[in-house]
Amino acid sequence: MIGIVNYGAGNIFSLTAALDRQGILYGMIDTVADFDHYDRYIIPGVGHAGTAMQKLQEKGFVPIIKSLKKPVLGICVGMQLLTSFSEEGNATLTSIIPMDTLHFNTEHLKLKVPHMGWNKVRLETENELFKNIETHSFFYFVHSYFIEFNPNFTIASANYGIKFSAAVKRDNYYGVQFHPEKSGGAGEQLLKNFTYLN
């Protein structure tokens, strides 16, 4: 069963609604002790990465998240929290995945920020998280900061003036920059796939 890390920085209603539609069982993690009740975890998140990290620290969740051996999925800011550093607030994050979270350079790229809406996601390497999802599917994004592309950890990419990581993996830790709970059938398939990861 999935444990949703409830630290006050997640859009939990949309996520739980998507899980309910798929009949996927879940519960809320409100304390450190709650982690023991689940066999996989989702870290949701919207808003400011630095503030989200501070909330995780205040709840005492950071050490246990870094020690987990079961599958973990970070969504949007939850994905960014897995990286080492964010330009948003010049924040030091968990460093679970040694990558940086950067701001879209609007002057150089002539882009509107936040990057909002549907964008094609390209699978860089075969991975069970994307099982039964077409190689070039569209997912829904809302973000002003992105995780740099790194072939060692990027399992799917997207492009918004610059190629960036749409999904990453290191060991049992996964992250997606898009919102699977708002991405229709492809997003719901990804959530279903997560429930079967070893």
CATH number where 24 lies: 3.40.50.880
pTM: predicted TM-score of the whole model, two decimal places: 0.95
Residue 17 has pLDDT above 70, yes or no: yes
Range of the domain at 15: 2-194
50-86, pLDDT tens digit by residue? 899 999 999 999 999 999 999 999 999 999 999 999 9
pLDDT in tens, 112-133: 888 999 999 999 999 999 999 9
Structure confidence at residue 106 as a pLDDT band (50, 70, 90)? low
Angle at 106 between CA 100 and CA 110, to 5 degrees: 130
* From 48, 115, 143, 179, the catalytic residue: 179
Pairwise pLDDT comparison (4 vs 88), residue with the higher score: 4
Task: State how far the alpha carbon of 107 is from the alpha carbons of 26, 87, 163, in Å.
Answer: 42, 16, 17
Q: What is the pLDDT of residue 73?
A: 98
Report the chain's C-alpha Rg in angstroms: 15
DSSP string, 92-105: E---SS--EEEE--
Number of domains the chain is built from = 1
From 48, 76, 88, 115, active-site residue: 76
Determine the pLDDT at residue 57.
96
- Residue 148 annotated in active site: no
> Which is catalytic among the residues 48, 108, 181, 188?
181
Considering the chain, what percentage of its residues have pLDDT values greater than 70? 97
Average of per-residue pLDDT across 148-166? 96
Whether 88 is catalytic = no
- Paired strand residues for 141: 117
**For residue 109, what pLDDT band results from cuts at 50, 70 and 90?**
low
Burial of 101 (0-12, 13-18, 19+ CB in 10 A): buried
Q: What confidence score (pLDDT) does residue 107 get?
A: 65
pLDDT higher than threshold 70 for residue 10: no
Choose the weakest-confidence range: 17-31, 41-55, 160-174: 41-55
Catalytic (active site) residue 115:
no
Q: What is the mean pLDDT of residues 150-154?
A: 97
Residues 168/158, Cβ–Cβ less than 8 Å: no
pLDDT in the model for residue 58: 95
Per-residue pLDDT at 108: 63
